[in-house]
Amino acid sequence: STWGMLESMNLTLIVGLSVDYVVHLAEAYSRAKESNRVAKQRHMLIDMGISVLSGAVTSMGASGIMLFSRFIFFYQFGIFMFCTISFSLFYSLVFFTAIVGLIGPNGKKANIVFLFYWLREKITGRRPIDLKCNKCDGKGWNKFSLEALAK
């Protein structure tokens, strides 16, 4: 089957609509003057999150009005817009926000070392700060906080 005008137009629009909110949030995160992830994340949500949410609500409202149209083109386009914007808003405010909180850049540079430490801990069951001892044959655990792991 061939693609019609609606499918072709939606395919080109979905690329821009699906990354728009994430790009705005990422810019606000990278421009934050704070040095730690939590403060940068808070700045991102306060500075740009409300604008992203407001833009999404108005766009979903406009696409919601199209759901009452009797023209099949506008009805389908309204469904497409509403779903795309809803998913984009959810992934940007929930998933992207969680990702930058975990492995986002600290200060002026990115820090994904924590991700590798976490993966190694999950795979091997040991952390690099765990001590080997002769009494427990290296099976003893040393209780350090995650801050010591990140240093």
Q: What is the pLDDT of residues 24-37, one digit of tens each?
A: 999 999 889 888 88
Query: What is the mean pLDDT of the segment spanning 124-148?
Result: 54
CA-wise closest residue to 48 among 102, 96, 15: 96
Q: What is the pLDDT of residues 45-90, one digit of tens each?
A: 999 999 999 999 999 999 999 999 999 888 988 999 999 999 999 9
**What's the pLDDT at 125?**
74
**What's the pLDDT at 18?**
85
**What's the pLDDT at 129?**
60
User: Looking at the predicted structure, is the pLDDT value of residue 44 above 70?
Assistant: yes
pTM of the model: 0.68
User: Looking at the predicted structure, is the pLDDT value of residue 111 above 70?
Assistant: no
**What's the pLDDT at 64?**
93
CA-wise closest residue to 93 among 33, 36, 20, 34: 20
pLDDT band at 135 (very low <50, low <70, confident <90, very high): low
